[in-house]
Structure 1
């Protein structure tokens, strides 16, 4: 596994909040690509959340601890208990995207081959290479298909 650069304060703080609240999550997207040896620029930090009632309660604890304006945004605990939700915090290049569904793989499928990286004192779950490839293939976006080629080489 390749080391990725240190996290900015926002990314570090959300990860600490998620870990302290015992949220079931995976790092996905470009940050996961870097872990799998294919670093590339990105304007956000993508986090895949298990869509369940228990996890949703923990997500809300983490978001409040992080300082996300969940009440002002009208975000409810139930929002994170079902697939299909995307909650964005901040602006690129420090934007955090929390997703309860991604293309091509379910959360359970994505966790089967997850890997862990130790970064800045945190033990972090990252989507496995094969699930990341399936996700990027299923999204069908041009940049994701380029990512697939890079991940498969």
Structure 2
């Protein structure tokens, strides 16, 4: 998968950002076959963590594409399966509800 994830994850880790991967990448991790090109994360909502996030994003330079393997993705904090299902159901969006069906069949 061609994207910027490796660079972004490395920068988040280097800068000690407290984060959790959610959204499409979490769905892919848990078995939904979908192409996604964005990275959704939740961060701890503190001024210090927000500052670390901004620094990490600046360092990542967001313009360089990189490859990341599933094994590499495993080293990062990803929302647990039941919470992913819960959040997708709560959104009510057709795409998210379709993901729920796929995830529950996997």
TM-score by length of 2: 0.79
Which residue, out of 33, 38, 48, partners 1:39?
33
**Is residue 51 from structure 1 mapped to residue 45 from structure 2 by the alignment?**
yes
Runs of 4+ in 1 over 4 A off after TM superposition: none
**Is residue 136 from structure 1 mapped to residue 88 from structure 2 by the alignment?**
yes
**Is residue 119 from structure 1 mapped to residue 98 from structure 2 by the alignment?**
no
Deviates more, 1:22-31 or 1:44-53: 44-53
Instruction: Tell me how far 1:53 sits from its aligned partner.
Output: 1.8
Structure 2: distance between partners of 1:139 and 1:130:
14
Structure 1: distance between partners of 2:88 and 2:57:
27
Partners of 1:118 and 1:124 within 8 A in 2: no
Match of 2:56 in 1: 62
- The verdict on how the C-alpha distance between 1:28 and 1:7 changes in structure 2, with shifts beyond 3 A counting, is farther
- The verdict on how the C-alpha distance between 1:56 and 1:64 changes in structure 2, with shifts beyond 3 A counting, is same
Higher helix share: 2
Gaps of 5+ in 2: none
Higher strand share: 1
Q: How large is the Cα RMSD of the aligned pairs?
A: 2.3
Where 2:75 maps in the other structure, the secondary structure is strand
Instruction: Tell me how far 1:118 sits from its aligned partner.
Output: 4.3
Gaps of 5+ in 1: 1-5, 69-89, 95-116
Structure 2: distance between partners of 1:54 and 1:15:
18
Deviates more, 1:39-48 or 1:21-30: 39-48
Structure 2: distance between partners of 1:12 and 1:63:
12
- Tell me the number of residue pairs that the alignment of Structure 1 and Structure 2 aligns: 100
Partners of 1:31 and 1:39 within 8 A in 2: no
